[in-house]
Amino acid sequence: MSSSDFSQKVQDAIIKGFIAAGISLGTRLKLFDAIASLSVSQETAVTTQVIADYTKCKERYIREWINGMVCADMVDHCVENGIDKYWLAPFRLPALTHSAEGCPASSSQLLSGVTQNSRNVEACFPIDGPPGTEVDDYPGLHEFLATKYSPLQDVNKIDAILNDEQLIKKLEKGAKVIELGCGAAHPVKTMATRFPNSSFVASELSESVLSRAKENCKDLANVSYAIVDACDVPDSMADQFDLVILFDVFHDVPYPIKLLQGACKLLKLGGKFIMNEINMFDTVEENKVKCGAQGCIMYMIGTLYCMPTSVKHPRGAGLGPCAGPKVFEDLLKESGLGEIVKRCDEIIGLTFCATKTLEMHEVEPETKKTKSE
């Protein structure tokens, strides 16, 4: 590649960043939905004032934003008698509006969510800078994660995700389950709906985060809520659960071994631990070749959020979403959990299942010495 070609590649990447920012704004404010509701053809195209009245937004802001989206070929435009008019062609609706589950445009909020604290992350780079950032510094990210579509919201897929006939039968009969780091508790909601005879606990580190789970699961009588630090499980909760689940959280935690030992403490003898992670690879070369731009996204999420919020804590692990399956599996083995099974699933990514064995039951988790702590 020549220098000029590479310069163009860099320029194109920056331009796409600006387009993504516009898409994020339009998605967050539901401006694309509004345009689609007003007009899907040139015959019914509307002015920015009509869009502003419909959305109860300022016309000048609507005009500046929508013209940018026209230049990016995201919104349709025509001029009638010297007046600019706009519409959203039907082929654009699945990608830009909330009419379809998992519309691509909604993912743009992930970009705005992780970059909203970028100045504080920049300050962490120098040797004499702060060690990391606070989880609460990313409200937009948490809002997106609470509302984004996930396969874990699909009751029809939960059996395949669990992938254990005996466990499914136990859940159908009645079991006790806790989700650690539940966020909006999508897995709890799905499983509580699928297994009404079982009881579920959605747990988080703070009430502010747990409130999202309470709102999401408010209509389910078999769901309760608790503030739980999995690295410091109280004795009153020991040996209480048949299943502990951890979805898309492990790579964020500062003390992974302590968390796994805490999960084990929560489990009854023979209880199951299921952990879901992002399906990346063990080396940057593999991620470059096999994941391409998706690999870049994961590393940047790690740089801007996962890693700094983990290393904020003294001796925090800072694993990040690209730590790789070998790192996760080695940590599971080091924790003492037994019967570890790894599974890669196109639906939800990388999943590990482990069991609390007799050996682990006989050794108090908090007293085990590990090389990672």
Q: In the structure, what pLDDT confidence band is assigned to residue 206 with cuts at 50, 70 and 90?
A: confident
Residues near 6 by beta carbon (within 8 Å), at least 6 away in sequence: none
- Going along 65-221, which residue ranges are E strands? 76-80, 83-87, 176-179, 199-204
* Partners of 373 in the β-ladder: none
177 neighbors 203 (Cβ within 8 angstroms): no
* pTM reported for the whole predicted model: 0.87
| pLDDT digits 0-9 by tens, 147-194 | 776 667 777 777 777 888 899 999 999 999 999 999 889 999 999 999
67 neighbors 19 (Cβ within 8 angstroms): no
Of 27-41, 134-148, 265-279, the least confident: 134-148
- Going along the chain, which residue ranges are E strands? 76-80, 83-87, 176-179, 199-204, 223-227, 241-247, 267-277, 338-345, 349-355
Nearest-angstrom CA–CA distance, 59 and 66? 10
| Residue 70 predicted with pLDDT over 90 | yes
* Partners of 355 in the β-ladder: 272, 338
Q: Which residue has the tokens 């005879």?
A: 197
Q: In the structure, what pLDDT confidence band is assigned to residue 373 with cuts at 50, 70 and 90?
A: very low
